[in-house]
Structure 1
Amino acid sequence: MNLTYEILPDDQAVQCKELCNELMGYQKSRAVIKPELFDSMNFETRMLPSMGSALHNHLVAVKDEDEMIGYVYSNVSPKITYSNDFATFFDLDSVSGDYVGCLSQFYIKDGYRQYGVGSKLFEMSMEWLRQFNEVEDLFIYVSNGNENALEFYKRKGFVVTHDILDGFITVLRNRKR
């Protein structure tokens, strides 16, 4: 393996399109609650709108030679972004400031997991999120059935606070250190 990590500018997010769509398929394959909700989720309906509504975006891609094998997308957004027609992701009054940080999407191709790639991408995301003084609360949303991701984030210091959409998504939270 010859892994390289690259921060992509917003206008190059399309480089992660295939992996984003693969992530949606992976989440559907693991889901036990409402897997059909993933049918309409893809790069155009998930990543692009999220990037468009965020104040700040951070997209890190990891490649093995020229093959894209993983990415992490994080953002800083107004907390009101997380109360919409789809769901209210957390109690808005529980966030002291106007902005939250979110590790929004995280995917590593099978065959590259368990080599520290996830920990490296996670740390790059957290380091970026910690630089925003106006952000105190960090959130991660894990789709049902993805127990490996849930346990990974818990080991990294995030705490499960609640489920939304009848258990479709588990909300994890951490106060910025």
Structure 2
Amino acid sequence: MNLNYEILPEDKIEYCRDLCNELMAFQKSKAYIKPELFDSMNFETRMIPSVKAALHNYIVVVKDDEEIVAYVYSNISPKETYSIDFATFFDLSTVNRKNVWCLSQFYIKDGYRQYGVGSKLFDMSMNWLSEFEDVEDYFIYVSNGNTNALDFYKRKGFKVSHDILDGFITVLRKSAMK
């Protein structure tokens, strides 16, 4: 294994297309509540709109030689971004500042898990986040059935806040230690 971590500018998000689509298929395979909702979720419907709506984006890919084997996508967005027709992801009145941080997408190909890749990508995202003093609410959304991801984020200090869409998504939350 020859792993390299590369921060991508927004105009290179196309590099994440295949892994983003693989992530959606992975989430569907784990889901036991409304797995059919993933049928319309893909790079075009999830990543592109999210990148466009965000104020700041942070995308890191992990390459094994030239093959992209993992990525993380985090963003800082106005809190209203998370109250859409699909769902309201949190009670807007519980967020004092106008912007929130979201770890939006995180995927590691099978065969590359358990080597610390996830922890390194998570730490890189949190370090990037520390550059923004105006954000104090951090959110992560985990699809139902993905207990490994849920446990990983809990170990990183996030707490389950609530479920949305009848349990389809678990919302995890953490506040800044300013």
Short-chain TM bin: over 0.9
Deviation of 1:58 after TM superposition, in Å, equals 0.3
| Unaligned ranges ≥5, structure 2 | none
CA offset digits 1:33-89 (Å, max 9, x no partner): 000000000000000000000000000000000110000000000000000100000
Aligned residue type for 2:48: L
Aligned residue type for 1:155: R
Deviation of 1:130 after TM superposition, in Å, equals 1.7
Deviation of 1:171 after TM superposition, in Å, equals 0.1
Aligned residue type for 2:71: Y
Partner of 2:145: 145
Paired with 1:176 and 1:129, the residues of 2 have a C-alpha distance of 10
Paired with 1:86 and 1:74, the residues of 2 have a C-alpha distance of 20
* 2:152 is the alignment partner of 1:161: no
| Unaligned ranges ≥5, structure 1 | none
1:130–1:176: 8 Å Cα contact kept in structure 2?
A: no
Specify the SS of the correspondent of 2:89. coil
Paired with 1:140 and 1:86, the residues of 2 have a C-alpha distance of 17
* 2:62 is the alignment partner of 1:51: no
Moved over 6 A (4+): none
Partner of 1:10: 10
Aligned residue type for 1:98: K
Deviation of 1:103 after TM superposition, in Å, equals 0.4
TM-score by length of 1: 0.99
Paired with 1:111 and 1:66, the residues of 2 have a C-alpha distance of 16
TM-score by length of 2: 0.99
Specify the SS of the correspondent of 1:69. strand
